[in-house]
């Protein structure tokens, strides 16, 4: 089962009750899913472990690296319970939030989070039930907050609380998150999705635990994260525009601008960026998306995201295969548009002022000039492939690595077709392997040129400092046509 995507932007599909069996996984993968997301807000370790086994079995049968994202829940802030299960709050009334665990009524409710009470200030806003209700703090006491209802409505047991304009002194990782991370890392996932990121310290805490065993994918869902965007981005291996909570805590008109800013920052730093939440929401119960949803996916592609994500559409929806299929079609169509290519080229950041950055930029330029069929990036740690992807070349990127972990991690990166390849010890070996795999993977045909970038000495992680052009032949050791490396 040879898999060669006809698009550069990747697709992340969330697994759940609608998609957690071998047959459905294979269909999702064949339809276009490049990475599978395990949502640790739901399901047991047994459930997630079974899905990991199914993914790895699929990977072995297809001989195509597949990435797995373990998305940990993060702190969940909720009100307590109510007598009768729910109350109705009216605009302009006063309402108290306190530490008393007694079930609430129309005048008060339990807020079992002393951190919120301690951090709140007069004028702070609290959003309840995904932003449907809005309260304004008018008095702060040691054990409670007095608020006035700005936007009222029905409030039931255990609904969520968002505090958009306060940095909460709450760790991004709970006890449950640490247990989930330990399980996921033991099972060898590629990315840990880190929720509730507010400060660079949140990312550092996760990296200290992970110790390089997976990439840290920081979910940008708090306004406070945007205040520290560059610092968080620099520490993260990848980021996600988590528009669900971000859309609750930011005014709606600010979310598209935040999305564009995050994507542009990720492009500048060469970090993979995923756009997520409600991309094809109507397909949870309908076989086709709305026109607005199709435009939303297209916008993320035009903006330059590395991947787009499906959540409930594939986890619990009635049409998971159709959702992946239509997302694949939208992406592929956008990427054939002249305006998309022109926009991509116009937004290309300046090359990094390093040897590695210069080589990645040169690879793109040479490939375009000679009409090469691909760029082969030899990489141990993924850095060479990431640098080439940052350039957004107009040809496929063949990510060649001796590490299956690296190949799987690159599944989320724009334009990279990753393959586990043997270690090479010389440029002639590298040329032979790269041209052979370019042909066998269906990327290049005999007689076409490919551009090869690598780091020397071979077999060691380091800077990208060698570039070569080679012709694809029927033999395993073609003669190079152009050389530009340190020993030339």
Q: Are residues 232 and 184 in the same domain?
A: yes
Q: Is the pLDDT of residue 315 over 90?
A: yes
- To the query of whether residue 387 is one of the catalytic residues in this protein, the response is no
Task: Report if residue 294 sits inside a domain.
Answer: yes
Q: Classify the phi-psi angles of 173: left when phi > 0, otherwise alpha if psi is within -120 to 50, otherwise beta.
A: beta
Final residue in a domain of this structure, among 307, 340, 373: 340
Q: Is the pLDDT of residue 485 over 60?
A: no
Nearest in space to 71 (alpha carbons), one of 200, 267, 211, 206 = 206
Residue 462: the pLDDT is 62
- To the query of whether residue 37 is one of the catalytic residues in this protein, the response is yes
Determine which helix (DSSP H) or strand (DSSP E) holds 31, and give its type and residue range: helix 22-31
Q: Are residues 126 and 178 in the same domain?
A: no
Does the pTM exceed 0.85?
Answer: yes
Question: Residues 317-322: contacts with CB within 8 Å, 24+ apart?
Answer: 317/18, 317/283, 317/284, 317/285, 318/18, 318/284, 318/285, 319/283, 319/284, 319/286, 319/287, 320/13, 320/18, 320/19, 320/24, 320/28, 321/24, 321/27, 321/28, 321/31, 322/283, 322/287, 322/288
Residue 488: the pLDDT is 34
Residues in a beta bridge with 400: 378, 419
Q: Are residues 317 and 385 in the same domain?
A: no
What is the number of domains present in the chain?
3
pLDDT tens digits for range 364-396? 999 999 999 999 999 999 999 999 999 999 999
Q: Are residues 303 and 332 in the same domain?
A: yes
Q: Are residues 282 and 336 in the same domain?
A: yes
pLDDT tens digits for range 345-361? 999 999 999 999 999 99
Burial (CB count within 10 angstroms: exposed 0-12, middle 13-18, buried 19+), residue 426: exposed
Task: Report if residue 350 sits inside a domain.
Answer: no
Least confident of 261-265, 267-271, 480-484: 480-484
Cβ pair 47, 24 in contact under 8 A: no
Q: Which tokens belong to 277?
A: 């939440």
Report the relative pairing of strands 125-128 and 161-162 from DSSP bridges: antiparallel
Select which of 5, 50, 56, 78 is catalytic: 78
SS3 410: helix
Q: Are residues 393 and 248 in the same domain?
A: no
CATH number at residue 476: 3.40.1380.20
Domain residues for 402?
355-484
CATH number at residue 30: 3.20.20.60
In the DSSP assignment, the letter for residue 458 is: T
- Tell me the pLDDT of the chain averaged across its residues: 94
Task: Report if residue 80 sits inside a domain.
Answer: no
Nearest in space to 37 (alpha carbons), one of 283, 311, 404, 331 = 311
Final residue in a domain of this structure, among 142, 162, 182: 162
Select which of 277, 344, 424, 464 is catalytic: 277
Residue 480: the pLDDT is 38
Task: Report if residue 347 sits inside a domain.
Answer: no
- To the query of whether residue 369 is one of the catalytic residues in this protein, the response is no
Task: Report if residue 252 sits inside a domain.
Answer: yes
As a whole number of angstroms, the distance between CA 251 and CA 257 comes to: 11
pLDDT tens digits for range 460-481? 666 788 999 999 998 654 443 3
Question: Residues 295-302: contacts with CB within 8 Å, 24+ apart?
Answer: 297/327, 297/330, 297/331, 298/330, 298/334, 299/256, 300/9, 300/259, 300/263, 300/275, 301/9, 301/330, 301/331, 301/334, 301/335, 301/340, 302/334, 302/339, 302/340, 302/343
- To the query of whether residue 277 is one of the catalytic residues in this protein, the response is yes
Cβ pair 473, 435 in contact under 8 A: yes
Select which of 159, 219, 267, 392 is catalytic: 219
Task: Report if residue 346 sits inside a domain.
Answer: no
Select which of 7, 37, 134, 408 is catalytic: 37
As a whole number of angstroms, the distance between CA 90 and CA 88 comes to: 7
Nearest in space to 151 (alpha carbons), one of 162, 135, 129 = 135
Task: Report if residue 143 sits inside a domain.
Answer: yes
How many beta carbons lie within 10 A of that of residue 418, not counting itself? Answer: 27
Residue 273: the pLDDT is 98
Q: Are residues 139 and 189 in the same domain?
A: no
Q: Are residues 132 and 194 in the same domain?
A: no
Task: Report if residue 70 sits inside a domain.
Answer: yes
Tokens 């600010």 -> residue: 254
Q: Are residues 92 and 34 in the same domain?
A: no
pLDDT tens digits for range 16-75? 999 999 999 999 999 999 999 999 999 999 999 999 999 999 999 999 999 999 999 999
- The reply to whether omega before 457 is within 30° of 0 (cis) is yes
pLDDT tier for residue 3 given thresholds of 50, 70 and 90: confident
Final residue in a domain of this structure, among 143, 162, 181: 162
């Amino acid at each position: 089962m040879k898999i060669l995507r006809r698009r550069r932007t990747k697709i992340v599909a969330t697994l759940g009750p609608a998609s957690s069996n071998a047959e459905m996984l294979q269909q999702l993968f064949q339809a276009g899913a490049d990475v599978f997301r395990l949502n640790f807000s739901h399901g047991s370790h047994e459930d997630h472990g079974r899905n990991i086994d199914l993914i790895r079995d699929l990977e072995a049968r297809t001989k195509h690296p597949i990435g797995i994202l373990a998305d940990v829940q993060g702190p969940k802030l909720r009100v307590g319970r109510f007598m009768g299960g729910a109350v109705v709050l009216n605009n302009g009334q006063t309402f108290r939030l306190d530490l008393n665990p007694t079930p609430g009524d129309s005048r008060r409710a339990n807020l079992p989070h002393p951190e919120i009470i301690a951090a709140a200030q007069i004028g702070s806003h609290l959003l309840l039930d995904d932003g449907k209700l809005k309260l304004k703090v008018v008095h702060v006491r040691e054990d409670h907050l007095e608020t006035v209802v700005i936007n009222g409505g029905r409030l039931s047991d255990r609904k969520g609380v968002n505090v958009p304009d306060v940095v909460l002194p709450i760790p991004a990782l709970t006890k449950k998150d640490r247990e989930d991370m330990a399980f996921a890392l033991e099972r060898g996932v590629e990315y840990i999705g880190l929720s509730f990121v507010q400060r660079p310290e949140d990312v550092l805490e996760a990296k200290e635990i992970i110790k390089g065993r997976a990439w840290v994918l920081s979910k940008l869902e708090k306004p406070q994260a945007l205040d520290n965007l560059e610092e968080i981005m620099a520490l993260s291996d990848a980021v996600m525009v988590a528009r669900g909570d971000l859309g609750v805590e930011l005014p709606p008109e600010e979310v598209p601008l935040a999305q564009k800013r995050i994507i542009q920052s990720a492009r500048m730093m060469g970090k993979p960026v995923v756009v997520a939440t409600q991309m094809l929401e109507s397909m949870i119960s309908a076989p086709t998306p709305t026109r607005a949803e199709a435009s939303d996916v297209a916008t993320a592609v035009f903006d330059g995201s590395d991947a787009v994500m499906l959540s409930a559409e594939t986890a619990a929806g009635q049409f998971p295969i159709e959702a992946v299929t239509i997302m694949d079609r939208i992406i592929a169509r956008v990427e054939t548009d002249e305006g998309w290519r022109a926009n991509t080229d116009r937004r290309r950041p300046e090359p990094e002022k390093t040897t590695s950055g210069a080589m990645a930029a040169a690879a793109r330029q040479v490939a375009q000039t000679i009409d090469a069929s691909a760029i082969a990036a030899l990489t141990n740690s993924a850095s060479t492939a990431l640098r080439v992807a940052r350039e957004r070349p107009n040809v496929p990127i063949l990510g060649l690595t001796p590490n299956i972990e690296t190949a799987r991690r690159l599944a989320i990166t724009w334009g990279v077709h990753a393959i586990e390849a043997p270690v090479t010890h010389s440029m002639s070996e590298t040329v032979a392997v790269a041209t052979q795999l370019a042909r066998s993977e269906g990327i290049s045909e005999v007689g076409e040129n490919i551009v090869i970038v690598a780091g020397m000495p071979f077999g060691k992680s380091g800077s990208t400092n060698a570039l070569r052009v080679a012709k694809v032949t029927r033999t395993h050791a073609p003669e190079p046509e152009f050389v530009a490396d340190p020993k030339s």
